[in-house]
Structure 1
Amino acid sequence: MEYFSSLECFVRSAEVGSFAEAARRLSLTPAAVGKSVAKLEIRLGVRLFQRSTRKLTLTEAGQRFLAEVGSSLNTIQHAVANLASAQGSPAGTLKVSVGTIFGCLYVMPLLGEFLSRYPAITPDWHFDNRQVDLIGGGFDAAIGGGFDLPQGVVARKLAPAHRVLVASPDWMLANAHVSHPDDLSECDGILIRSPQTGRIRSWPLIHRTQEQTPLRLKLRMTMSDSEAACRAAVQGLGVALVSMPFAVPYLRAGTLQRVLPDWYVEDGSICIYYSEHKLLPGKTRAFVDFTIEQFARQELARHFSAV
Structure 2
Amino acid sequence: METLANLESFLRSAECRSFSEAARRLSVTPAAVSRNVAMLERNLGVRLFHRSTRKLTLTEAGETFRSAIADNLEGLQAAIAGISTGNEEPAGRLKVSLPPSFGAAHILPLLPAFLARYPQVRPEWHFENRQVDLIGEGYDAAIGGGFELSPGLVSRTLAPAHVVAVASPAYMSGRVPPTKPAELAALKGIVMRSLQTGRIRHWMMRDVSGREAQGSLSESIVVNDPAAMREAALLGLGVAMLATADVLPALEDGSLIRLVPRWYSDAGAISIYYASRKLVPAKTRAFVDWVTDAFRKNRLAERFAGSLS
Question: Could you say whether these structures have the same fold, taking a TM-score greater than 0.5 normalized by the shorter chain as the test?
Answer: yes
State the shift of 1:2 in Å.
5.1
Q: How many Å separate the matches in 2 of 1:174 and 1:50?
A: 71
State the shift of 1:234 in Å.
1.8
Query: 1:261 and 2:257 equivalent?
Result: no
Q: How many Å separate the matches in 2 of 1:207 and 1:60?
A: 59
State the shift of 1:264 in Å.
0.8
2:276 equivalent in structure 1: 276
Alpha-carbon distance change, 47 to 88 in structure 1, aligned in 2, over 3 angstroms? closer
State the shift of 1:177 in Å.
5.3
Identity %: 50
Alpha-carbon distance change, 5 to 168 in structure 1, aligned in 2, over 3 angstroms? closer
State the shift of 1:74 in Å.
2.5
Letter in 2 for 1:37: V
State the shift of 1:215 in Å.
2.2
**262-271 vs 92-101, which moves further:** 92-101
Q: How many Å separate the matches in 1 of 2:38 and 2:153?
A: 31
Q: How many Å separate the matches in 2 of 1:302 and 1:80?
A: 38
Alpha-carbon distance change, 31 to 306 in structure 1, aligned in 2, over 3 angstroms? same
1:75 equivalent in structure 2: 75
User: What's the TM-score once normalised by structure 1's chain length?
Assistant: 0.92
User: What does 1:49-128 correspond to in 2, within 5 Å?
Assistant: 49-128=49-128
1:242 equivalent in structure 2: 242
Q: Which ranges of structure 2 fall in alignment gaps of 5 or more residues? A: none
State the shift of 1:257 in Å.
0.7
Query: 1:157 and 2:157 equivalent?
Result: yes
Q: How many Å separate the matches in 1 of 2:152 and 2:142?
A: 14
User: What's the TM-score once normalised by structure 2's chain length?
Assistant: 0.91
1:25 equivalent in structure 2: 25
Q: How many Å separate the matches in 2 of 1:207 and 1:27?
A: 48
CA offset digits 1:17-38 (Å, max 9, x no partner): 2101112333443233224323
Q: How many Å separate the matches in 2 of 1:233 and 1:22?
A: 43
Alpha-carbon distance change, 141 to 278 in structure 1, aligned in 2, over 3 angstroms? same
State the shift of 1:181 in Å.
1.9
**262-271 vs 1-10, which moves further:** 1-10
1:143 equivalent in structure 2: 143
* Root mean square deviation of aligned Cα: 2.0
CA offset digits 1:270-295 (Å, max 9, x no partner): 00010011021111111111111111
Alpha-carbon distance change, 59 to 122 in structure 1, aligned in 2, over 3 angstroms? same
Query: Contact (CA 8 Å) 1:154, 1:275: kept in 2 or not?
Result: yes
Alpha-carbon distance change, 88 to 31 in structure 1, aligned in 2, over 3 angstroms? closer
Query: 1:133 and 2:133 equivalent?
Result: yes
**Alignment partner of 1:174: what SS?**
coil
Query: Contact (CA 8 Å) 1:130, 1:196: kept in 2 or not?
Result: no
**Alignment partner of 2:220: what SS?**
strand
State the shift of 1:85 in Å.
3.5
Query: Contact (CA 8 Å) 2:188, 2:217: kept in 1 or not?
Result: yes
Query: 1:170 and 2:178 equivalent?
Result: no
Alpha-carbon distance change, 59 to 187 in structure 1, aligned in 2, over 3 angstroms? farther
Q: How many Å separate the matches in 1 of 2:243 and 2:56?
A: 41
Alpha-carbon distance change, 28 to 255 in structure 1, aligned in 2, over 3 angstroms? closer
2:190 equivalent in structure 1: 190
Query: Contact (CA 8 Å) 2:99, 2:143: kept in 1 or not?
Result: yes
Alpha-carbon distance change, 22 to 172 in structure 1, aligned in 2, over 3 angstroms? same
**Alignment partner of 2:271: what SS?**
strand
Q: How many Å separate the matches in 2 of 1:177 and 1:88?
A: 57
State the shift of 1:213 in Å.
1.6
Q: How many Å separate the matches in 2 of 1:302 and 1:33?
A: 47
Q: How many Å separate the matches in 1 of 2:59 and 2:157?
A: 40
**55-64 vs 114-123, which moves further:** 55-64
